Amino acid sequence: DAGVTQSPTHLIKTRGQQVTLRCSPKSGHDTVSWYQQALGQGPQFIFQYYEEEERQRGNFPDRFSGHQFPNYSSELNVNALLLGDSALYLCASSWLAGGNEQFFGPGTRLTVL
Amino acid sequence: GNSVTQMEGPVTLSEEAFLTINCTYTATGYPSLFWYVQYPGEGLQLLLKATKADDKGSNKGFEATYRKETTSFHLEKGSVQVSDSAVYFCALSTATGNQFYFGTGTSLTVIP
């Protein structure tokens, strides 16, 4: 079992650009959540996807959007990047019917210059 | 609303010392409570969890008890090791499991 995988590991972009981050959930999991972790802070919930639909959303602007595919993998898209978007982006997967334990991937480190 | 408050670090201890990291929460309904650990350059790993009041979660010598009356979930370990050096996050999950709320993290350094 490969666990939760994310790509790329690191990414450098400039202000105004757009970025796409990818996540493959743990085998058997059907739900994917995305979090933003700024340096020295705890993760902040962005949104959660289940059955290819956004199930819940945190307090993030519409510049942050996502998608879930039929194989349960997911993408996080961020448009019009700001310096403040620099952070570690974490993907977590879970099994909706199996309770609320989430398994986290290693994250994608995004730097916006 | 839902929130988690944990003691600020950094915390530095000598090997074999006793560890306590305080965590309190505010929640609507009946949340589940978690401790996650993050090693440098890595994602979060689940350390332990408790899903209802008075439950005790334990793993690798770490323990935490879900105290509804004090809305707390303090992390303890009787004898820390150098390999326990990491950042520890307290978190709660809503009853529906839709969303996790994390504390700001407590950095622990254990010196030989």
- Per-residue b/e over A44-64, b at no fewer than 16 CB within 10 Å? bbbbbbbeeeebeebeeeeeb
Taking only the tens place, the pLDDT of each residue in B27-83 is 988 899 999 999 987 889 999 999 999 999 999 999 999 999 999 999 999 999 999
Taking only the tens place, the pLDDT of each residue in B80-103 is 999 999 999 999 988 766 688 999
Q: Which residues of B touch A (CB under 8 A)?
A: 4, 32, 34, 36, 42-46, 49, 51, 89, 91, 93-94, 96-105
By Cβ distance, the residue of A4, A42, A106 closest to B102 is: A42
CA nearest to A41 within chain B: B104
Least Cα separation, residue A99 to chain B (angstroms): 7
CB-CB neighbors (< 8 A) of B91 in chain A: 42
| Residue of B45, B99, B107 to mutate when probing chain A, most A C-beta within 10 A | B99
Which residue in B49, B21, B20, B47 sits closest to B34, CA to CA? B49
Is the pLDDT assigned to residue B9 strictly greater than 90? no
